[in-house]
Structure 1
Amino acid sequence: MNSRQSVSPISDAPDLCRMDVAALNAAFGSGALSPVEVVQAALARAEDVQQRFNAFTFIDHAGALAAARAAEARWRADAALSAIDGVPTTLKDIVHVEGWTVRYGSRATDATPMLQDAPSVAGLRAAGAVFIGQTTTPEFGWKAVTDSPAFGITRNPWNPECTPGGSSGGAAVASATGAGVLHLGTDGGGSIRVPAAFTGTFGLKPTFGRVPADPPSAFGTVAHIGPMTRSPADARAMLSAMGGRSLRDWSQPWGAMPSPDPRPFDWKGRKVGLWMTPPTGTLSLAIKRVISDAVRQIEAAGATVEPIRLPGEGLHEMFHAHWMTGAASRLAQIPQEARRDLDPGFVEAAAEGNRFSLRGYISAQQARARFGAAMDQLLADYDLLLSPATACLPFAAGREVPEGSGLSRWTEWAGFSYPINLSQQPACTLFCGLAEGLPVGLQIVGPRGADGFVLDAAEAATSLLGGP
C-alpha cells in the first residue's frame, strides 16, 4: 500500500481528466476535442481508480459511450444542451437512475433496475451530462466514512490507509483523482462536506430544497443533494442543472430560490463569523493551525472576522433524534431474513433510534425549529460563517472513529457539519492547506437561499488560498 503523499491525487491523471467544465466547453465548441474522447479517458481513469481505491460500484462503459456520441453530435450541430453537455459525471449509489441497480451500499436491497430517474438525475441527464458510473456509500449513507458489507472499503487517494470520509466517499475519490468532472453526492450530516475535506476537493450542501429529492430520504429534512467537484465554478454549473422545482418533492419550498449565477465578490467590508468550537469532540491542533492561517489571509483581504459560538444547546442530541430515528425507520423496511448481513453499526444506530419516544422526537423537532430561527438571525447579522470542515484529519479506513480517540460515533468528530443540516443553510467545503501531508477543509456557510453567494465566496477563497 502506498505511503502518505503530499501532492494532489490528480497529479498522475491524463490531461483529458484534469479539464474543468469551462475548458471542456471551449474544446467541444471549437472541435478541438470530442465528448467521446473525454468520456473514454474518464472511463479508463475510473477503472484505474477503482482498482486502487474502490470508489465505484458500477462503471457504465456502454451507456456512457452512447451518451457521449449523442453529445458529440449535438456539439457538432451547434446544439449543445447546456454547459455540462458531454461532461463525465458520476452518481452516488443512493439516487435512482433509470436502468441502473441502486443498492444503497447494501446486500439487503432489491437488485431490480430502477424505472425512473430521481429529479436531480433527470436534470443532469436533460442537460447532457454523461453518466460514467455509480460511486460507493456506506450502507444507506448512515455514517461519515465509506465502507459497506456490499462493496467493501473505499480508500483515500492521499493515503490509501486512510478513509476518504463519507457517506459520499466514492464520489469524493472520483473527484480527487479525475475519474469524472461532476459528481452527485448526498449530505444528511456532512456526507458531501466531510469527504470533500478529507480528499482536498470541493463540495456544496445547497440550501435545503434547492435540489429536489425523490423518493424521500429515510433521514427526512436533514438530507440534502448536491454537487462534488474540483472547483466552485464546476459545482455551480452542476447545481444549475440539478436544481429547480419538482412536483415529485413535496418538501421543497414553493417558489423559485435566487439564481446561483456568479456575481462579483470582494472580501473587503464583509462581516464574517468564525466558528471554531464543535458541539462535541475536540478540534485537532494541526487543523486549527491551517484554518487560522487561512482566516488570516481572508482578514488581510479586507474581511472583518469575529469569533462566534453557534446558538442553541444540545445539538448533538438534537441531531441524533432526527438521524437515528431515520435509521430505525430504514431498518424497519428490511425483512428480518435479510438483516443478517447488515453493517452492525447501522443496526446499533437504528436501535438507538428506536429508544426515542414520540414525545422526545417532537421535542427535538421543536428545538430544531428554535435553532434554525436563531441560525437565520445569526446569518442576518453576519455575511458568512467560516469554520473547519472537520474536527480531525483523515484516519484509518474501515473505522467509524479515529483509533484511540475515545469516541464512539462519527457524529462526535463531525460536529462542524451536522448542525448546518439541522438549520438547512447552504455550506461548502474547500481545500485550504495540508496538515501531516493530508488535506484540510475550510467550511463556508451562508444564509438560506444564498447558494450563489456562498459559491462566489468559495471562488474568492480558492483564488486567495490556492488549491491542492
Structure 2
Amino acid sequence: MNAQSNEQSRETNDGLDLADYSAVALIAAYRAGRLEPVRVTEAVLARIARCEPQLQALYAFDAEAARAQARASAARWQAGAPLSIRLGGQDLTLDGVPLTLKENIATAGTPMPLGTAASELTLASEDAPPAARLKELGAVLLAKTTMPDYGMLSSGLSSFHPLTRNPWDLSKNPGGSSSGAAAAAAAGYGPLHLGTDIGGSVRLPAAWCGVFTLKPSLGRVPIKPPYAGRVAGPMTRTVADAALMMAALARPDWRDGMSLPHQQIDWLSLCGARPLDAASAAERLQGLRIGLLMDAGWGLRVEPEIAAAVEAAAALFAAHGAQIERLAPGSLCTRAMMDGLDAFWRMRSWLDISALPAERRERVLPYIRAWVDRGERLSAAELFHGYSQIAAIRDRCIAACQPYDYVLSPVSPVSAFPAAWASPINDPERPFEHIAFTLPYNMSEQPAASINCGYTAAGFPIGLQIAGRRHDDLGVLRVAQAYETLRGPQRAWPAPGLR
C-alpha cells in the first residue's frame, strides 16, 4: 500500500483522521458497522509513529499487543457481542477504543517505575482498579504514559523517562504529573487517557495542553493505593468522552477502602449521538449561583492574558443567566496552610527516599532531593501541624464554596513554561507557587474540571477550572459541557503538524 492510500485509510468521508475521532463517535460507528477497531488502531499507531519521537509521552508502548487487542475487539463486534455492561438501561462499552494509562496505574506484567530511576523494575502482579474497569469493557491499551519522579512535579521532567514535551510547542513543558497523558491527548494518541491527581496533576497539564479533564470527588473512582487527596481522572478532548470514561471507572472495587458507595449516576446522559445544542446548554446555566475566584491569596500572580480569558468565561456564564459573585483572596486556602502541608509532604517523601540504598537515592531527580532534604530537620510538632492542614484546608474550602453551585477560577496562574524545568519557577524551595487554585479541591475532596477557555498571544492554551460541591461530579460535567458548547470554535489540534 502506497503512502497516499495509507493516508486515505486513516481518514473517513468527513476528512477527519481516525486518530482524532472521539470515543463516543467511535462506538457509534462500530455499532453501525461503519468502522472497525483494527483500522482505527492502525490510524492511532501511525499518529504515534509520527509524533512520539518528538513528544516522548509513552512508556511500555507495545504496538503488536495493541493490534492483537484490536483484532479481538473486531471479532467481537463482528459477532455482535462487544464487551459491555448494562448501565441505567443502556449498554456501556469501550470495546475497540484506544486508551493510555498513566504509568503509576498498575497493569499486570508491566513494571511501574513511578517516574524515577531509583525504582526497582518489578512486574506488577495485578491490574489496579481503574485499569481493570477499562479493560473489562474492551478498551485497546496502547501504552502507559510518562510522569515525573514519584508524581511530585507539575512537569514532564523525569529521571527515568525521556523529557516529555508539549505538543503545542516542543520547547514548552506539558505539565504534570500526568504529563504524558496530557501530551498524548492533545496529540491525538486516541481519545481516552487516564491520569492521577493529588494537587493538580490532571488539571494543570490539561490546562497547558488544552484538553479536558475531571478530577473526581475523592473515592468516586476506586484506586490503589488510595490516600488523602489522590484520585484518578479522565483526560480527553471532549466532555462527553470524559463522562463515558467515568461511567466505566466509577464502579465498585473493594481494594480501595476510601471509595464511595456505588451510586446510579447518569453519566451516559452526556454521551448522546447528537452534540448538545446552544439552547439546551444555556438552560443548564440559567439561574446558577457561580463563585469567581481570581486571586488565590498566595502563590504566583495570575498572568493578564489568563485573567482576561477566565473573566470572559465568567461573562459568558452571566450572559446565559448565571449569577456571578467574587470570592475574596485566600478563600480556599491560606499561605500558612500550604506551608504546613508542604512540610508534611516533604517529610513523607524524605522518609521514603532516605530509606533507599545510597546508590538508588542518588538516582532521584536532584530537584526532588533538594525539596525533600528539609524533611530531615522537621520536628514531630511540625509534622503533626503539617498533617493537620489537610483537614484545615478541607473545612475552609468547603465552607467557601457552600453558597455557590459552582466556582470558577484559573487552573494555573501562568502559561506553559520551558520544557526542561521542574516547575514554572524551577525552584525547589518554592515548589507549589502554581497550585494555589488546584490544591484546595484535592484536600476538600470536591470535583473540579479543567476546560480550555482561550489562548495566549503566543498560542498556548488557557485552562478554566470549574469546581462543584462534594460528590457533584455529574453536575460539574454538565456545566463544563454547557460551556464547551457555548464557548465557540477552538483552534486546530497541534498534531500531526508538530514543529
Q: TM above 0.5, one fold?
A: yes
Asked if structure 2 preserves the Cα contact closer than 8 Å seen for 1:260 and 1:451, the reply is: no
**Match of residue 87 from structure 2:** none
**Match of residue 259 from structure 1:** 265
**Match of residue 79 from structure 2:** 77
1:312 positional shift: 4.7
1:242 positional shift: 1.6
Give the whole-Å Cα distance in 2 for the aligned partners of 1:256 and 1:350. Answer: 38
Give the whole-Å Cα distance in 1 for the aligned partners of 2:26 and 2:380. Answer: 52
Pick from 379, 398, 403 the counterpart of residue 376 of structure 1.
398
| 3-state DSSP of counterpart to 2:315 | helix
1:333 positional shift: 4.7
Pick from 440, 462, 466 the counterpart of residue 419 of structure 1.
440
Give the whole-Å Cα distance in 1 for the aligned partners of 2:247 and 2:357. Answer: 39
* Aligned residue type for 1:194: L
Give the whole-Å Cα distance in 2 for the aligned partners of 1:105 and 1:351. Answer: 19
Asked if structure 2 preserves the Cα contact closer than 8 Å seen for 1:54 and 1:153, the reply is: yes
Deviations 1:303-342 (A, max 9, x none): 1111003245323214313432332243145322212221
| 3-state DSSP of counterpart to 2:432 | helix
Alignment of 1:231 onto 2:238: yes
**Match of residue 48 from structure 1:** 50
**Match of residue 418 from structure 2:** 396
**Match of residue 185 from structure 2:** 175
* Aligned residue type for 1:110: E
Asked if structure 2 preserves the Cα contact closer than 8 Å seen for 1:84 and 1:129, the reply is: yes
Asked if structure 1 preserves the Cα contact closer than 8 Å seen for 2:367 and 2:428, the reply is: no
Pick from 267, 283, 288 the counterpart of residue 270 of structure 1.
288
**Match of residue 4 from structure 2:** none
* Aligned residue type for 1:339: R
- Judged with a 3 Å threshold, the aligned counterparts in structure 2 of structure 1 residues 14 and 323 are, in CA distance, closer, same or farther, namely farther
Alignment of 1:248 onto 2:269: no
Give the whole-Å Cα distance in 1 for the aligned partners of 2:332 and 2:60. Answer: 43
Give the whole-Å Cα distance in 2 for the aligned partners of 1:366 and 1:107. Answer: 32
1:252 positional shift: 2.3
**Number of positions where the alignment pairs a residue of Structure 1 with one of Structure 2:** 451
**Match of residue 167 from structure 2:** 157
**Match of residue 35 from structure 1:** 37
1:410 positional shift: 3.6
* Aligned residue type for 1:78: G
Give the whole-Å Cα distance in 2 for the aligned partners of 1:346 and 1:138. Answer: 10
* Aligned residue type for 1:387: S
Asked if structure 2 preserves the Cα contact closer than 8 Å seen for 1:327 and 1:346, the reply is: no
- Judged with a 3 Å threshold, the aligned counterparts in structure 2 of structure 1 residues 146 and 205 are, in CA distance, closer, same or farther, namely same
**Match of residue 434 from structure 1:** 455
1:136 positional shift: 0.9
Alignment of 1:88 onto 2:98: yes
1:378 positional shift: 3.2
Give the whole-Å Cα distance in 1 for the aligned partners of 2:154 and 2:319. Answer: 34
| 3-state DSSP of counterpart to 1:221 | coil
Asked if structure 2 preserves the Cα contact closer than 8 Å seen for 1:202 and 1:428, the reply is: yes
Asked if structure 2 preserves the Cα contact closer than 8 Å seen for 1:328 and 1:353, the reply is: yes
1:407 positional shift: 8.6
Give the whole-Å Cα distance in 2 for the aligned partners of 1:246 and 1:355. Answer: 39
**Match of residue 7 from structure 1:** none
- Judged with a 3 Å threshold, the aligned counterparts in structure 2 of structure 1 residues 312 and 201 are, in CA distance, closer, same or farther, namely closer
User: Which residues in structure 2 correspond to 1:186-201 (within 5 Å)?
Assistant: 186-201=196-211
1:345 positional shift: 1.2
Give the whole-Å Cα distance in 2 for the aligned partners of 1:169 and 1:236. Answer: 21
1:76 positional shift: 1.8
Alignment of 1:336 onto 2:338: no
Give the whole-Å Cα distance in 2 for the aligned partners of 1:333 and 1:245. Answer: 34
Pick from 409, 415, 421 the counterpart of residue 430 of structure 2.
409
1:203 positional shift: 1.1
Give the whole-Å Cα distance in 2 for the aligned partners of 1:183 and 1:357. Answer: 41
Give the whole-Å Cα distance in 2 for the aligned partners of 1:342 and 1:406. Answer: 16
| 3-state DSSP of counterpart to 1:147 | coil
Asked if structure 2 preserves the Cα contact closer than 8 Å seen for 1:319 and 1:422, the reply is: no
Asked if structure 1 preserves the Cα contact closer than 8 Å seen for 2:207 and 2:464, the reply is: yes
Give the whole-Å Cα distance in 2 for the aligned partners of 1:258 and 1:74. Answer: 28
Alignment of 1:222 onto 2:229: yes
Give the whole-Å Cα distance in 2 for the aligned partners of 1:203 and 1:222. Answer: 16
Alignment of 1:363 onto 2:385: yes
Asked if structure 1 preserves the Cα contact closer than 8 Å seen for 2:154 and 2:201, the reply is: yes
- Judged with a 3 Å threshold, the aligned counterparts in structure 2 of structure 1 residues 332 and 95 are, in CA distance, closer, same or farther, namely farther
Alignment of 1:306 onto 2:306: no
Give the whole-Å Cα distance in 2 for the aligned partners of 1:320 and 1:399. Answer: 20
- Judged with a 3 Å threshold, the aligned counterparts in structure 2 of structure 1 residues 140 and 370 are, in CA distance, closer, same or farther, namely closer
Asked if structure 1 preserves the Cα contact closer than 8 Å seen for 2:154 and 2:423, the reply is: no
Unmatched runs of 5 consecutive residues or more in structure 2? 1-14, 85-91, 271-279, 492-499
CA RMSD of aligned residues (A): 2.0
**Match of residue 4 from structure 1:** none
| 3-state DSSP of counterpart to 2:450 | strand
